Structure 1
Amino acid sequence: MAGAFVGGAALGAAFGELLKVVEDVAIKAVYFKSIVKRIESILNQITPTIEEIKNLNRVLDRSEKETAMFTDQLRDAKRLVRSCAKVKWWNYCAKPCYSNRLLDFEESLVRFFQIEVQAMQLRDGMKILMQVNEVGSKLDRIGTMGGSFRPIGFVGCCGVPGVPEFVVGFDEPLRELKMQILNEGEQVVVLSAPGGCGKTTLAKMLCRDEEIEGTFDMNENLEFDMFKDNIFFVTFSKSPNLKVIIEKMFQHKDYPVPEFQTEEDAINQLESLLKRIGPTPMLLVLDDVWSGSEFLTEKFKFQISKYKILVTSRSVFPRFSTYKLKLLKDQDAMDLFCHSAFPQHGRSSIPKDLVSKIMRRCGGFPLALKVVGRSLYGEPEVIWKNRLKPWSEAQSILYSNNELLICLQPSLDALDGMYKIKECFLDLASFPEDQRIPVTALMDMWVELYNLDEDGEDAIAILHQLSNRNLVNLVLTRKDASETNGYYNEHFVMQHDLLRDLAIHQSDQNPIEHRKRLIVDIVANDLPRWWIDQREHPVHARLVSISTGVLILSI
């Protein structure tokens, strides 16, 4: 296939320009029509090959020196065809000359693809065969080093993805998480945080940590760094397919993949594989495990020495040891935001207080800091002020950043099918941001709205469910406060601003007159537009919150 070995962007561009001119002249020209038509037919036949040449060479980053001469011929041919179109009917001397030149080009076009391209293919095929033989020889040499080594498959089946080149604020979390992983008593550790906090990034950093690689990499003394086959990195997702996951683990170790009859058979085969690898230390990372899938995590637990499992999740799984990743501190958040907004390490003319205000609206979420910062890169001060204005008017940051919404929305989607829990989460947005919400107030409200038990146990259970999903933080103002005595005066709830924005965004999807909750943030004397437009329309909300920045009225 010629496209794999020759050509490039310059050849593709020259070919496309020539084809366009030939098609135009074939329609309009009176003379040379038969020759131009034949050239057009040849060009149309080789168009797919030229496109493949262009695409593959972009991927392979191949040199265009070999086809430079032919590229120049295509450009000369374009000028020739254009000149032919300009030959007048009375110019009998020019017609034979241009006809011969067109015939010469037609012949060179056919010769290039029939002879030169095939020679290039043969030569490049021999080069590839030679390189494959060299790789095979190296693998054979490695295989003679003794021990239980087996050559691994290509990196990618369950290989550790790359870490972003700029990461801040994760030194301490990495150290603490590493201590939990290396703790002899813990086989499963859950790394938990809301979406957009950097759980996957921290997990990748852990896998690439020198101490962890030295512990879990049986091949650390080999010549090639690619032989790191005792760390499996698997994306679990919302609907995991256990058979596919286990197939990838077999492929990662370059073992033949058995034909699994059932999921139970796949799990049994995996256990046998891991026992063959042992007693060498092994680390399995299950990334993005959803709430409700923790029972699947149990299936990957085996009584194997030095076998560890790291789970990343938006939720907390009480049955496992958990490490909660915190949001970035202000200085780290500022460093990350400025790296995205000012890659050249300069703030230009943007005032520091304006930068600080926008950074704080991102709430310490790494994803929010990167997305918002990137969106403001290179923008003048007026755009920065314009971006801050709607947020100052109580509009959510999610309205102007769809990527953030996409990241956080699954946390809310995970509550589908749990009607009361989801409704209670949405109710929390009725309270002002950055304030502690008394649990007793929530109990009174939810008893009325959802017919919960008046003793408060149902409400507390719901709050624990939300806390386990990192959607709220439960706060005790006294260390000796207890739930066992039925008194909850010392219990409070706090919700992060972005999660509150998510709840408000969800509630705002319906028309005003059909909303269950009406959340009104009044800034100065400015009333929301819908307030004025809807004066004569009834509002049927069951929960109304009006904030003026000082006084909160809940109805």
Structure 2
Amino acid sequence: MTDWVDLGLGSIGGALVSEALKLVIEEAKKYKSFKPLSKDLVSTMERLLPLTKKIDSMQNELDLGSGELKQLRETIEKARVLVLKFPSVRFYEKSNYTRKIVEINEDLAKFCDIDLQLLQYRNQLTLLGVAGNLVDKVDGLSKRMDGLMSVPVPVFRDLCSVPKLDKVVVGLDWPLMELKKRLLDDAVVNLVVSAPPGCGKTTLATQLCHDADVIGHFKHIFFNVVSSTPNFRVIVQNLLQHNGYAPHTFENDSQATVGLRKLLEELREDGPILLVLDDVWRGAESLLQKFRINLPDYKILVTSRFDFPSFGYNYRLKPLENEDAKALLIQWASRPHNTSQAEYEDLLQKILKRCNGFPIVIEVVGVSLKGRSLNTWKGQVESWSQGETILDSPSQPTVLECLQPSFIALEPNLKECFLDMGSFLEDQKIRASVIIDIWMELYGKNSSILCMKYLEDLASQNLLKLVPLGNETEDGFYNEFLVTQHDILRELAIRQSELEAILERKRLNLEIKEDTFPDWCLNAPRNTVVNASLLTISTDDLFSSNWVEIEFPKVEALVLNLSSPDYALPSFIAGMTKLKVLTITNHGFYPARLRNFSCLSLLPNLKRIRLEKVSVTLLDIPRLQLASLKKLSLVMCSFGEVFYDSEEIDVSKALPSLQEIDIDYCYDLYELPYWVSEVVSLKTLSITNCNKLTVLPEAIGNLSKLEVLRVSSCINLSELPETTDKLSNLRFLDISHCLGLRKLPLKIGKLQKLKKISMRKCWRCELPDSVRELEDLEVKCEEETRLVLWERLMPKMRNLRVHEEETEHNLNLLQMF
């Protein structure tokens, strides 16, 4: 660095101000380690330079002393000393030097903006010979300005205070206890409270901040509402102003980050800090990372409709349990006059069923019924039974205002998926595979993994719930997940779909009670065409299958919900030439007998059929001659007797495209029909939870393209046929929980493409010697099977990997029934 003595200055006490300033500028520009702060300092000094040159010339001409520039000279001297030390600053000293740079920059800016301009004005007046009283007045003005600068500017400080609890909180005692435990855990730094809109996230966070233990632990608690349009700099400005600093505008996020860190370091000297960021929206991950400063005793609590798994521990707030929901409703809605206890209790339960534990819905409904007559209560319940929703009520816009932003925030593809959820029944527990089948065909997706991601994305935004049934998924097999959705969110999806005219809607729900069709069906002109691509038809147990003829030429996915023991498919299905997916679900207690099954015959584009809890003859399937059928799913179906030789059907021509057969919980399936072994195009055969299945056909060896064979939880299956060794393309075999299985095919070692075997609870099964010929094999089992069967083979088999997984008893299985 050029020495000040080389310039003949020694120090800047007697030097020209402009020359001293230029030297500091040149040296400050050389060092990048303190950018952007050093850059700001250079910018301020360059702005000051032309003014100091002018003052220098005036001072010399008038032979004025340098005392009037004493403050500026001292500030530049500080800058000189600081710049000289830049190369030797250690990393742990950087924050201290950063603070000094900011202070010098502020002093120079103040001099540039006020003091220097007053001094310049005085010198100009002196040159004009008007220095007398007027100069004294300017000096007086300068002193008054200095006085004003020293007076503290009033600062509004209540910007980040915790909101007051203005109502009695109901049902959050347990969540509060769990969340407080996590918050006070030293191992937890960041927490996220997530839930659907209107579940009480903000109320829970507010109550937590008012808790005595939390207040006793954290010296500083700040509460900031982030919302869907967050501004990092504004939040930091509010935090600084809340703590007594004058309002300040940051030019960029880097400056705001430095300011935030300085504030936190200063406050941390008093004690631990809790920062609450309320109502954080999807896409704010980068914002959260800016607040994530690595300091001891500093924690962040986030509330959001969305999950942020990478940020910290996620606590999902659930809707209220029935007793808490009831207490909240009673708090908001006083009991109507002249109502018996039994009648009052009945009305409460019907209202609570509709609200389904959502605090905001309970509050809105409760307020609307408070002080109203018994007739109003009954009328409200009756309106819901007639199909009206809470979202439709003009007097209750709050619920819609709360929910609507979650839908608007979705990406376009997820909006479509969310709207499709309104096509399923209220409170329905849906297998994930059902929805995935529809999306794959409706939106042309070739990957079930991608469609499963859509479900996970909606679940992460708390717009539906994914319930695992305990077993892991393999090879795109998603039967082990249930999908549920809160009724209010389903109503939101339906409401969005119903914004269009009935005949123009992309999604249409047709509800038929007894034999009564909606008016638009009965009054529609002849040859009326409906434009829906996703059609749901729901009938009750009194429906007699007396159909009205309607044309649905654009339907690609058809969902039939039935409850009657005897059901005839509508003949108009035969005209759905674009139909790709058909799902028939019986919600009655016993399997329903299906009639008019032949109307599906020859549908040119039908690719996926799913039948649940219906009675069919297995020969009915190949008779349909469905050239495009790719997947057949039979769940809880009854088949009666399986006939083998009753008629000859060329299955290769009848079902030339069939690649996947999924049979689950079919209790009267003793053996597979012969035609399954003749579907030479088959790639996946899945038979699960079929307790009466004892054997697989020897002809299964004909399935040369088969890649996945799953026969899990078939407890009476005693062996696999020896012809299994002909499945040359088999890569995955699942025999888990086949408790009666005693042996595998002797020549299983011939299956060189077999890379995965899942065999939990199969320790009684005998492994043939040829299993050693399998290379790069991955086995999944529990401890007992590993010890009994695979432990001795591990040193003898090339690249054998045995993953031990304990079987968990999952009560979620009970939700299926």
**Do residues 513 (structure 1) and 506 (structure 2) align?**
no
2:336–2:371 contact (8 Å) kept in structure 1: no
Amino acid aligned to 2:301: L
Partner of 2:346: 353
Q: 1:552 aligns with which of 551, 561, 567?
A: 561
Structure 2 contact 427–487 (Cα < 8 Å) conserved: yes
Q: 1:108: which partner in 2?
A: none
- Aligned residue for 1:546, secondary structure, equals strand
Once residues 314 and 474 of structure 1 are traced to their aligned partners in structure 2, the CA distance between those partners, rounded to angstroms, is: 16
| 2:435 alignment partner in structure 1 | 442
Structure 2: distance between partners of 1:193 and 1:346: 39
| Alpha-carbon distance, 1:345 to partner | 12
CA deviation vs aligned residue, 1:372-411 (integer Å, no higher than 9, x gap): 0110111112111211122112332211232111111111
- Does the 8 A contact of 2:335 with 2:344 survive in 1? no
1:243, distance to aligned residue in structure 2 (A): 1.7
Contact preservation (8 Å) 1:362, 1:369: yes
Return the TM-score normalized by structure 2: 0.46
Q: Is 1:427 matched up with 2:429?
A: no
Q: Deviations over 1:498-526 (max 9, x none)?
A: 11011001101111121110012334444
Find the counterpart in structure 2 of residue 338 from structure 1: 330
For residues 377 and 245 of structure 1, the distance between their equivalents in structure 2, rounded to whole angstroms, comes to 39
Q: CA deviation at 1:352?
A: 1.9
Q: Which residue of 1 aligns with 2:217?
A: 215
Q: Is the 8 A contact 2:281 2:306 kept in 1?
A: yes
Counterpart of 2:258 (choices 268, 277, 299) is 268
Is there any run of 5+ residues in structure 1 with no aligned partner, and where? Answer: 1-151, 218-229
Alpha-carbon distance in 1 for matches of 2:338, 2:190: 44
For residues 243-254 of structure 1, the aligned pairs below 5 Å read 243-254=233-244
CA distance in 2, matches of 1:361, 1:351: 16
| Worse-superposed segment, 540-549 or 302-311 | 540-549
Q: Does 1:383 align with 2:373?
A: no
Q: Secondary structure at the match of 1:194?
A: coil
What SS does the aligned partner of 1:342 have? Answer: coil
Structure 1 pair 534–158 and aligned structure 2 pair: CA distance change class (3 A): farther
1:373 pairs with one of 351, 366, 370:
366
User: What is the one-letter code of the residue matched to 1:329?
Assistant: E
Task: Give the corresponding residue for 2:222.
Answer: 232
**Structure 1 counterpart of 2:763:** none
- Between the aligned partners of 2:430 and 2:158, the Cα distance in structure 1 is 47
Shift of 1:324: 0.4
Output one character per residue of 1:134-161: Cα deviation in whole Å (capped at 9) or x when no partner: xxxxxxxxxxxxxxxxxx9666300111
User: Where does residue 166 of structure 1 map in the other structure?
Assistant: 168
CA shift for structure 1 position 348: 7.5
Query: Is this contact kept in 1: 2:157–2:244, CA < 8 A?
Result: no
1:475 to 2:475 alignment: no
The answer (yes or no) to whether the contact 1:339–1:345 under 8 Å persists in 2 is no
Distance 2:173 2:306 in 1: 23
Tell me, yes or no, if the aligned pair for 1:522 and 1:546 is still in contact at 8 Å: yes
Residue 164 of structure 1 contacts residue 201 of structure 1 at CA under 8 Å; is this kept in 2?
no
Q: Which residue of 1 aligns with 2:785?
A: none
Match of 1:330, as an amino acid? N
Is the contact made by 1:396 and 1:505 (CA closer than 8 Å) also made in structure 2?
Answer: no
Q: Distance in 2 between matches of 1:344 and 1:298?
A: 52
Higher Cα radius of gyration: 2
Q: How far apart in 2 are the matches of 1:525 and 1:376?
A: 34
Deviation of the 1:438 alpha carbon: 1.2
> Cα gap change, 1:153/1:485 in structure 2, threshold over 3 Å: closer, same or farther?
farther
Deviation at 1:533, TM superposition (A): 4.0
1:322 paired to 2:322: no
Counterpart residue number, 2:596 = none
Match of 1:351, SS? helix
Is the contact made by 2:332 and 2:367 (CA closer than 8 Å) also made in structure 1? yes
**Separation (CA, whole Å) in 2 of partners of 1:193 and 1:322:** 10
- Aligned with 2:246: secondary structure? coil
**What amino acid is aligned across from residue 327 of structure 2 in structure 1?**
D
8 Å CA contact 2:157, 2:241 repeated in 1 = no
Distance 1:535 1:184 in 2: 70
Name which of 191, 194, 204 aligns with 1:192.
Answer: 194
Secondary structure of 1:452's counterpart equals: coil
CA–CA distance in structure 2, aligned partners of residues 513 and 410 of structure 1? 27
Partner of 2:610: none
**Matched residue type, 2:420:** D
1:241 equivalent in alignment to 2:243? no
1:109 aligned partner: none
Q: Structure 1: how far apart are the matches of 2:214 and 2:511?
A: 49
**C-alpha separation between the residues in 2 aligned to 1:343 and 1:275?**
54
Q: Secondary structure at the match of 1:236?
A: strand
- In the TM superposition, what are the counterparts of 1:480-499 in structure 2 within 5 Å? 481-499=471-489
1:164, CA displacement in angstroms? 3.4
SS at match of 2:388: coil
* Paired AA for residue 390 in structure 2: I
**Superposition deviation, residue 351 in structure 1:** 2.7
Equivalent residue for 1:529, pick from 507, 519, 526: 519
Q: Please report the TM-score for the alignment, with normalisation by the length of structure 1.
A: 0.67
Change (3 A) 1:486 1:204: same
Q: Aligned partners of 1:344 and 1:176: how far apart in 2?
A: 37
Which letter does structure 2 place at the counterpart of 1:512?
A: I
Give distance in 1, aligned partners of 2:354 and 2:262: 50
Task: Specify which of 390, 397, 402 is matched with residue 397 of structure 2.
Answer: 402
Give the match for residue 305 of structure 1.
296
Kindly indicate whether the alpha-carbon contact (under 8 Å) linking 1:338 and 1:345 is maintained by their aligned counterparts in 2. Answer: no
Alpha-carbon distance in 2 for matches of 1:164, 1:423? 39
Q: For the residues of structure 1 that align with 2:325 and 2:166, how far apart are their CA atoms?
A: 16
| Mapping for residues 89-108 of structure 1, pairs under 5 Å | none
Letter in 2 for 1:254: G
- Cα displacement (A) at 1:256: 2.8
Paired positions, count: 387
CA-CA distance at 1:194 after TM superposition: 0.4
Cα deviation digits, residues 423-458 of structure 1 (max 9, x gap): 11111111111121111111211111111124x101
Is 1:460 matched with 2:452? yes
1:531 deviates by 3.1
Q: Secondary structure at the match of 2:283?
A: coil
Q: Which has the higher contact order (CA 8 A, sep 6+)?
A: 1
Paired with 2:287 and 2:345, the residues of 1 have a C-alpha distance of: 48
8 Å CA contact 2:336, 2:373 repeated in 1: no
The SS at the match of 1:244 is: helix
